[in-house]
Amino acid sequence: MSKTTKPDGGKTKPDTRNLGPRAIALDAVMGVFTKGAPMDHALASHPDHKRLEPRDRAFARAIAAAAVRRKGALEAALNAFLDKPLPDSALRAHLVLVCGAGELMVLNNAPHAVVDAWVTVMRADAECERFAGLANAVLRRISERGRGAFEAADPLHDLPDWLSDAWSKAYGVKTARAMARARSVHPPLDLTLKVPGEAEALADELEGICLPNGTVRLSETRDPTGIPGFEEGRWWIQDAAATLPVRILAPQPGERIADLCAAPGGKTLQIAASGAQTFAVDRAPKRLKALYDNLERTRLSATVEAADAAQWQPDEPLDGALLDAPCSATGTLRRRPDAAWAKTQADIASLASVQASLLTAAYKLIRPGGRLVYCTCSLEPQEGEKQIAGFLKRNPEARLDPIRPEEVPGLEDAIDAEGALRTRPDMWREVGGIDGFYIARLVRPAG
């Protein structure tokens, strides 16, 4: 390893330029656990990220995702070989060990290269260099004998304590553990087709499978631009669960349908593909860029407005509306493992207040006899079941229209006693799981 010398002639340190992906991953993991930063933003905003080749960017993300997704299990493996935990002041060094253990236990990379690389990262870091010898010993032991402790770890320990407790209370410990286990693995890639009838053919072409809802699922993540049909706009990326709200809304050709809080726009594309007159509303102009790009690529049409959904007014009442309300996103942890660390229990109450205001506003937009689908990609009852119960109490004239089993093939058991849908990540485990969503359909009485 080449050496660099400090300008003041001080102690030399290893040149870590070839360790860029690992150093960037470490900084991103620090951002997630200390600031609640979105992992992908922390990676992309790192000053050295743009200098990496695409393969190395993917490598950095894989390391960060492994550390964030399996933190509890990786710490269990580390603790089996540490005489005592590192002091709180050595968080960065602790996370070096977590990242290194993630490469060994989750990514299954060559032990010799992994250990040497992370020890070098430690030696080059002023906050960590005094623990380099410890890292060398512990990571080597983990590579040889750490698999048992890693695999035996309770998957609930991969979550923040508040979320583990909340899931256990809401669903029972057994189901909560199954949910946590399901979100601990990298998810497949799901495609929604512009023309649903082409799903089987595309699944055969891509050697994927066609799910009961019509989603084409690929077992491995790929560069979207290299998948057949991308340039032609035949499909867009969207988790299977995220397609269900529009399926339940069932927009019809010629109807006036609004997608409120629309960005990044997968549901807008579904509505537009149905032939409905489509309105897409979102308060964040920057987040609408992906929607504009996908509308252009798929050659679909929608009226897009950068506006607060709580204030937006159409020129005449709507036949239907979809409110995918801002939420804690705890149902998407398969795809966004960092989301668990971006929120606290206190945030749930704050988000629930926003959801209630949006729900009230959205209901007023639909005509008598029209319908409103409310959904959140959250597993927290306060953002789902309790939200709808509160709305119906405040609006006794509104009616909950029960979702019928034939509307959600393969998920009939996910319909609750009131007729709403509650998907969980442990459902469809045999084909790769599904995001957690709560979906309810409301009808405004014609009278």
Q: Catalytic residue positions? A: 377
Provide long-range contacts, Cβ within 8 A and 24+ apart, for 281-290: 281/305, 281/307, 281/309, 281/312, 282/306, 282/307, 282/309, 283/307, 283/308, 283/309, 287/263, 288/262, 288/263, 290/263, 290/264, 290/265
Amino acid (one-letter) located at 340: A
Burial call 72-109: b when 16+ CB within 10 Å, e when fewer: bbbbbbbebbbeeebeeebebbbbbbbbbbbbbbbeeb
88: β partners: none
Rg of the chain taking only CA atoms, in angstroms: 24
Burial call 408-418: b when 16+ CB within 10 Å, e when fewer: beebeebbeee
User: Is residue 22 within 8 Å of residue 99, measured between CB atoms?
Assistant: yes
Helix (H, G, I), strand (E, B) or coil at 4: strand
| Phi, psi at 363, each rounded to 5° | -65, -35
List CB contacts of 49: < 8 A, sequence separation 6 or more. Answer: 24, 43, 57, 60
Helix (H, G, I), strand (E, B) or coil at 236: strand
Beta strands 256-260; 318-324: pairing state: parallel
Coarse DSSP helix, strand, coil percentages of the chain, rounded to the nearest 5 percent? 50, 15, 35
Beta strands 318-324; 366-376: pairing state: parallel
CA distance 130 to 355: 49
Structure tokens at 252: 């019809």
List CB contacts of 219: < 8 A, sequence separation 6 or more. Answer: 188, 208, 432
User: Is residue 364 within 8 Å of residue 432, measured between CB atoms?
Assistant: no
List CB contacts of 63: < 8 A, sequence separation 6 or more. Answer: 21, 22, 25, 99, 102, 103, 107
